[in-house]
Structure 1
Amino acid sequence: MNSTPALPKVSLLIAVRNEGKHLARTLESVCAQDCPLHWLDVLVLDGNSSDDTVAIAEGFATRLPHLRVVNNPGLLSAAAWNLGLGLATAPLVSILSGHALLPVDYFSFLLKEATPARAGVGAKAVPHGDDERSALIASAFSGLLGNGGASFMASNRSGPVESIAFGCYWRHILQKAGGFDERIVRGQDWDLNLRLRAQGYELWYFPQREIQYFTRSNFRALWQRQYLAGKWKRYIHEKSRKPFLKRHLLPAFFVAGLGTSVLAALAWPPAGFIAACIVLTHQAVSMWQFQKTGLPWRLAPSFWWAVWLIHTGYGAGMITGFAVPIRQASKNSVSTRQ
């Protein structure tokens, strides 16, 4: 009697670029899944890494039966995921990065929840740090001030949501929707989820499972990340003709108000009092969030600085996006990490 090998049930599209620091832990979490590993079609899509990312990925070939390491000449995450969509062999695709840690039952759980009526399903995204600085930045992102109440990070209720992070989608639905927009540097998944919902599809969120992701480990990279996120958010919403959410606009108003009061103070010094009040209020609210983290008080100034960079980076990016409209991605803007 001939037996046909079972086809994979889900293709993992892992976009990477210089992820040597974290990729091994990501792939270890894949190997630790409680489902049969032949269910998983693993594609590591590398954007010309200059570190040992490719060697690390290839080192897992003996443990993951359907592992492929593929060069991504487009460099950007969107290009990687589109490349993976074309190479995937499973009906479901999981959109991942090389700095995520999966719970052991991640795929066995999501496979049960991925019904035909749902375009995609996702778990709770939890920021994680592997040193003091990145753990502090992760704590800043974990609270309301950092994530703005985004459902895929803050909600504890299952159900339909505006967007999912590290989602598991039906491949044919993503292909029908046109895949990822490769013109976008930051927020490609948000753009895709907007389009799916506009086409009448539902995205479901399940906080019972948490997927950890490693945050930036330095303040400069944090600000740059937020700046790009804010800058591209304007383009994404202009393209979709969807209104901005309040949490997306507040940082821009914050930066605009602070900048206006500082400039006004040059001509009328009392306006400097307004700027000082804005900064002090921000510090006070940040300290309110800090005392909930359990971090030692010696880290309070750094915590406030992280929250400050999250808000000013995003706000400055949003204002730049309105002032200087962008039309497509440039490979020159690609960071060393996807």
Structure 2
Amino acid sequence: MIMPVLNEERHLRDAVRQVLDQDYEGPLELVISVGPSHDRTQEVADAIAAEDPRVTVVANPTGRTPNGLNAAIAASRNPIVARVDGHAMLPADYLRTAVETLEETGADNVGGIMAAEGVTPFEQAVAAAMTSKIGVGNARFHTGGQPGPADTVYLGVFRRSALDRVGGYDEHFQRAQDWEMNHRIRETGGLVWFQPRMRVSYRPRPNVRALAKQYFHYGRWRRVVSRTHQGTINLRYLAPPTAVAAMAAGLVASPFFWPGLLIPGAYVAAILAGSVLTGRGLPPAALARLPLVYATMHLSWGTGFLTSPPKLSKQQPEPERARLQDFFED
């Protein structure tokens, strides 16, 4: 298993314990890739490795997620490679279920549900939005569904042969690197499989600012992916930027043409109605925050997509992929 970490002193031991306590009879190793942290993450990781021979620590000088993942993959040895985050909470049967699913389906990558679970009222509202089609569309790794082929999955448990075939994670992509690599796996004949029994608990962002930043960068880098791989965008991804552009146009036109206000007004009404429908069972404090959460996710993602600068685009993907392929073969 591979785990890129940065500033994870607080959660690292618990995350490692959940990995090493997996109900799995095969060989198990954990490679922790440590970025330049501002806390004691490096010291904690080194101490864990000294205590358990199954743990290896490697450096990720850039601190970027795809670089850390590639460094950990290169240091790992087993034919199955499972990605896990430093603050993820894995169920005990996660790895066993993944390996069984790989064998049963012949897939190159399997993954399950990103089960958002909040503690504070704001986090509870985000968790509700992240498991709702109003918030994230029909992505099964958010909303659940039947097992089967998928465009992408949460985290991922891979056959090493598939990672070698596509050259690992593309280090150009600071975000959306999972979707991008799964696309290359599928383009080279591989199968990505959604397995809802693989359910991983996830703690949502704790405030509006952090949530807005997260979704802004999601939108920004999803557009970079769409520029790199033509034909990979669909209506689900275009809905937020279309809504942002329409509301901006309506507000600009409203001083001269008052019906322009109907566009943002209709959005607000739809969000309020959707919050009532999807917020059933939430505590009142969380329900009150749900419209704000939906709006933050939609508008941040859409704005990030619309303002994604062309300079972020990957101009020469093939040489870069060849470099990554050499990295894994050396």
Indicate whether 1:209 and 2:198 are aligned.
yes
Q: Distance in 2 between matches of 1:153 and 1:270?
A: 36
Residue deviations 1:114-162, cap 9 Å, x none? 2383111112221123444323322221111222110222232112111
Shift of 1:48: 0.6
Report the TM-score when normalising by structure 2: 0.88
Q: Distance in 1 between matches of 2:17 and 2:164?
A: 29
* 1:16/1:263 CA distance change after superposition, 3 Å: same
Q: Which residue is equivalent to 1:142?
A: 131
Question: Which AA in structure 1 matches 2:132?
Answer: G
Q: Which residue is equivalent to 1:75?
A: 63
Q: Distance in 1 between matches of 2:165 and 2:215?
A: 30
Q: Distance in 2 between matches of 1:262 and 1:88?
A: 54
Indicate whether 1:102 and 2:90 are aligned.
yes
Q: Which residue is equivalent to 2:291?
A: 304
Q: Distance in 2 between matches of 1:134 and 1:301?
A: 12
5+ residue gaps, structure 2, are 315-330
5+ residue gaps, structure 1, are 1-11, 329-338
Q: Which residue is equivalent to 1:336?
A: none
Indicate whether 1:128 and 2:114 are aligned.
no
Question: Which AA in structure 2 matches 1:226?
Answer: Y
**What secondary structure is seen at the aligned counterpart in 2 of 1:126?**
strand
Higher mean displacement: 304-313 or 64-73? 64-73
Q: Distance in 1 between matches of 2:44 and 2:293?
A: 31
Alignment check: 8 A CA contact 2:219 2:302 kept: yes
**What secondary structure is seen at the aligned counterpart in 2 of 1:124?**
strand
Alignment check: 8 A CA contact 1:35 1:107 kept: yes
Q: Which residue is equivalent to 1:287?
A: 276
| Higher helix fraction (1 or 2) | 2
Match of 2:213 among 224, 241, 245: 224
Shift of 1:61: 3.3
Identity of aligned residues (%): 27
Q: Which residue is equivalent to 1:39?
A: 27
Report the TM-score when normalising by structure 1: 0.87
Q: Which residue is equivalent to 2:15?
A: 26
Q: Distance in 2 between matches of 1:110 and 1:163?
A: 15
Question: How many equivalent residue pairs?
Answer: 313
Q: Distance in 2 between matches of 1:231 and 1:267?
A: 32
**What secondary structure is seen at the aligned counterpart in 2 of 1:167?**
strand
* 1:289/1:17 CA distance change after superposition, 3 Å: same
Match of 2:312 among 306, 326, 330: 326
Alignment check: 8 A CA contact 2:22 2:92 kept: yes
Q: Distance in 2 between matches of 1:150 and 1:63?
A: 40
Q: Distance in 1 between matches of 2:16 and 2:284?
A: 35
Residue deviations 1:7-65, cap 9 Å, x none? xxxxx1111111234333322211331225x8221111111111122233334336643
* 1:163/1:274 CA distance change after superposition, 3 Å: closer
